[in-house]
Amino acid sequence: MSIFGRKKHWITPDGRYYDLFADMAAQPHLMIAGATGSGKSVVERGIMHALLYSSPARVQFILIDPKKVELIDYINLPHVIRYAADPDDRIDALQQACRIMDARFTEMSKQGAKMYDGPDIYVLIDELADLMTTQKRGAAPLIQHIGQLGRAARVHLIVCTQCPLREIIPTSIACNIDARVALRTRNAQDSRNIMQRSGCELLPRYGRGYYMRPGELDLYNIPMIPPEEIARLVTWWTSPRRCTA
């Protein structure tokens, strides 16, 4: 069962409530892109925070953290199947995600099921550009495989990048990630690479962004979840006294 039957409401700076981060995580796959300092980590942490209102029986993570600092706070969560920071570990983590996905399809075939009945697994790649510039030959086919087949197996990609160039986001990967969060970009071409139109270069440095889904494009004020609130959730899940229900 997915968590999205019971969304958590967030409040915007102007007092409106909506379910932005839960809606983002409900997509089969998601890309978060924008220039350095545009707020990618804010969106990434907001999605993680929304997901952590579900137990490991419903939501699990494979975390790929090339910078070794963005996702390290989540490493001890019971939801985390794998944390990978070193180059060899990153490819192994993607291979593990593919093995899980393929095993799920084998199980679905035996059962005659169209959708896997089990926890959603989020493969969160903090900086796609690092993988695609240093390990493209190994990483690109695995990311493409997950993008093409992951939806029915409940294996989802969330990829972040500060360098939305064509060589970083090739068509073979981009065509399978049709939900995008577009933050401020360096120029109009970067904006077009993310959402097929200019406009992101005109956004403020941080705090606002476009959220694109099939047939929809909305401009949002991006709320920032306070770090202490995220730390509270992480502490609760990593405490030996936590509830495991």
N- to C-terminal Cα separation, the chain: 14
Within 10 A of 195 (CB to CB), how many other CB atoms are there? 20
Q: Place 242 in a pLDDT band, splitting at 50, 70 and 90.
A: low
| Nearest partner of 180 among 203, 199, 196, judged by Cα | 196
Decide which of 13 and 64 is more confident.
64
Q: Looking at residues 126-140, what average pLDDT do you find?
A: 91
Provide the mean pLDDT of the chain. 88
Q: What are phi and psi of 38, to 5 degrees?
A: -85, -10
Q: Place 240 in a pLDDT band, splitting at 50, 70 and 90.
A: confident
Within 10 A of 196 (CB to CB), how many other CB atoms are there? 11
How far apart, in whole angstroms, are the C-alpha atoms of residue 190 and residue 228?
33
Please give the model's pTM, rounded to 2 decimal places: 0.89
- pLDDT of 12 > 60? The answer is no
Domains in the chain (CATH in brackets) are 12-237 (3.40.50.300)
Unique residue bearing structure tokens 């360098």: 163
Instruction: Kindly state the helix (H) or strand (E) to which residue 208 belongs, with its residue range.
Output: strand 208-213
